[in-house]
Amino acid sequence: MRFSNDFLDEIRDRVPISAVVGRRVTWDRKKTNVSRQDYWACCPFHGEKSPSFHCEDRKGRYHCFGCGVSGDHFRFLTDLEGLSFVEAVQQVADMAGIAMPQPDPQAERRERERTTLQDVMEMATQFFQDQLQTASGARARAYLRERGLTGRTIETFRLGYAPESRNALKEHLAAKGVPKDQIEACGLVVHGPDIPVSYDRFRDRIMFPILSSRDKVIAFGGRAMSPDAMAKYLNSNETELFHKGNVLYNFSRARRALQGADGADTLIAVEGYMDVIALHQAGIENAVAPLGTALTENQLQLMWKTTPVPVLCFDGDGAGQRAAFRAVDIALPHLKPGQSVRFAMLPDGKDPDDLVKHDGRAPFDRVMAEAQPLAAMVWTREVGSGVFDTPEKRAELEAKLKQVVAGIADENVRRHYQQDIRDRLYAFFQGSQPQRAERGYQSNGRGQGGQGRFGGRAPGPVAAGRGAISDRLARSGLVRGHQEQPTLRESVLALTIVNHPNLLEDEYDEIAAIEFENVALQKLWSSLLTAVAEVDHGLNRDVLVGKLEIHGHGALLRALDQQIRNARLWTATEIAAAEDAREGYRQALSLYKRARALKRQRKELEREVAEATEADDAERIDQLISALHEVQSEVARMENQEAIIDGFGVMSGRVKGAATGHH
């Protein structure tokens, strides 16, 4: 009996492979990490005393590092218990609570037709590959070379060329005996009752084969060579083989990368074919892309079947941010414990191809390291462009955030998001009372009785649900954002932009994305971005400062200026030359990003320590504690390195409007 791939995939998805294997083995308590769906046991296929048999639910695979056996649910049952394949499928289907499909002659016929259509698509792929190497494919080859692709990469992704002809592919397939109806069913020609003679859908285009999850060619994407083409990129139309919203480009290869030894631990969704290919060539093989449209719910579900927290990578411009916000709405209703997404925003004007072309994967890896959780993106979207200077506006913000979070279906996740919102609202608004407006930078981060006005605990060294941290770390620049005054690096960032608003013209998206830890600076930044949006002609410091003073930030600006002058960080002052101000800003931004990365790393380690403690995994606890100490040492080094930005303006001796001179 034949089973459809969809049926087999469904029962595999419903039954964790650990449930199948676990009936015949005893999991090792020390090496097994249940929260990560990672299991170890002594191999049932050969005698051993130490566990070398590994089973991962997220991959649906097992592998023994001792004897080398590996497979999926059905292979385990056929190899270990001697069942036939049909009997193995029956057993897993019973565990999944799914009835076995009844023999369906029509379904079997459709499956045979699909196989035939895949054969036709394979023939078309080979045709396009051959055409790329002909004289007519010279321009396409030159374009691919200009994009930096090697011959090996072109071969790996089976790139090809569709010649500038209305019938070259159609005639090629017909000459090989492929019937007209099969060519049409594959979407390779444009046809219809109002079209007397069908013609090739793809003409004068670089061709990107699109593979199924089982590595079969099911569609094509074509990139036009002519700048006058109606569409720069053209995809196959919907067919029996291809449903665009259910497919991710490079999914099968990226999924295998997660099972390999290169360290990839999640899928990365980027924008287009060339981004995926460029990243692969740079050694990042776990990238996928939607097919020319916004990410769909089905595509996100496909990623979740492979990895619990995929990273969605968007351009840093306005369009990229809007696409990220749309993805927020798609993901929110489907969040589950341990299942979410993170967002990586690229520098404005850059795509993944740009980042890796000259300097390899390091710049892209840095972007990935700064990926934000979904909760942060929700907050950024609702707060980023608003001014909340009245009780009514603050109440409106609170209501909007509650409405957004209410769409999360899972009760536990929804409850934690509600708590996260209360914490953020408290931190955001705690300095908004009139008596604090003139000394916002001195806010001590504590409400009356230790409770925020929105019911959340005041931020501090120990926050609800976050676990305790060391006294040393509590005193560090990473977690003192709500204490007496901003860290030096945050002050430099803020005051440099205020005193040199021309930086906003070139660095706006990066500057707008800065998330200060200090509450007073958060409010200042919201007012600054609003003020900039209101300026019609150029950016002027005096006008900007005037608007900020109107919003009640005058005392804060004076305090920041005094803090900067006491530290002799002249690059952040008004009199600094533009070149020095830009260099000081970049150095401070680098320290700021590193500090945030360390903070995220510390939180992740603390979470893993808690999980390891719950699992009573002493060996892993020791490893994690060691890693946590290293992070805390790095925090200490960063505190000492804050002085790196000191003295640049003094050494240069430049002031605004002059090549030399003393400040």
Tell me the C-alpha to C-alpha distance, in Å, between residue 533 and each of 385, 508, 547. Answer: 9, 11, 12
pLDDT tens per residue across span 148-192: 999 999 999 999 999 999 999 999 999 999 999 999 999 999 998
Residues of the chain with pLDDT under 70: 1, 103-115, 259-263, 385, 430-485, 506, 509, 533-539, 635-663
pLDDT at position 640: 54
Question: What's the CA dihedral at 648, 653, 659, 660 to 10 degrees?
Answer: -170
Within 8 A by CB and 6+ apart from 325, the residues are 377, 381
| H helices present in 49-149, as ranges | 73-81, 85-96, 105-132, 138-146
Question: What's the CA dihedral at 284, 603, 483, 438 to 10 degrees?
Answer: 50
CB 160 within 8 A of CB 225: no
pLDDT tens per residue across span 409-443: 999 999 999 999 998 888 888 644 443 333 333 33
pLDDT at position 502: 84
Tell me the C-alpha to C-alpha distance, in Å, between residue 72 and each of 69, 166, 260, 295, 556. Answer: 11, 46, 16, 29, 62
Indicate the pTM of the whole model. 0.56
pLDDT at position 335: 94
Task: Kindly report the length of the chain.
Answer: 663
Within 8 A by CB and 6+ apart from 399, the residues are none
pLDDT at position 398: 92
Q: What tokens does 231 get?
A: 């569409």
Query: How buried is residue 602: exposed, middle or buried, by Cβ count under 10 Å (0-12/13-18/19+)?
Result: buried
Beta bridge partners of 207: 160, 222
β-strands 195-200, 311-314 pairing: unpaired
Question: What's the CA dihedral at 598, 603, 606, 610 to 10 degrees?
Answer: -160
Helix (H) or strand (E) run with residue 198 in it:
strand 195-200
Within 8 A by CB and 6+ apart from 99, the residues are 93
pLDDT at position 537: 56
Residue with tokens 């060519």: 183
Measured between alpha carbons, how far is 521 from 556 in angstroms, rounded to an integer? 9
Q: How would you label 143-169 residue by residue, b for 16+ Cβ within 10 Å and e otherwise? A: ebeeebbeeebbeebbbbbbbeeeebb
pLDDT at position 105: 62
β-strands 53-56, 38-41 pairing: antiparallel
Measured between alpha carbons, how far is 97 from 103 in angstroms, rounded to an integer? 19
CB 286 within 8 A of CB 264: yes
CB 11 within 8 A of CB 77: no
pLDDT at position 447: 36
CA angle 109, 115, 117 (to 5 degrees): 105
Residue ranges and CATH numbers for the domains of the chain are 5-96 (3.90.580.10), 105-242 (3.90.980.10), 251-429 (3.40.1360.10), 488-652 (no CATH)
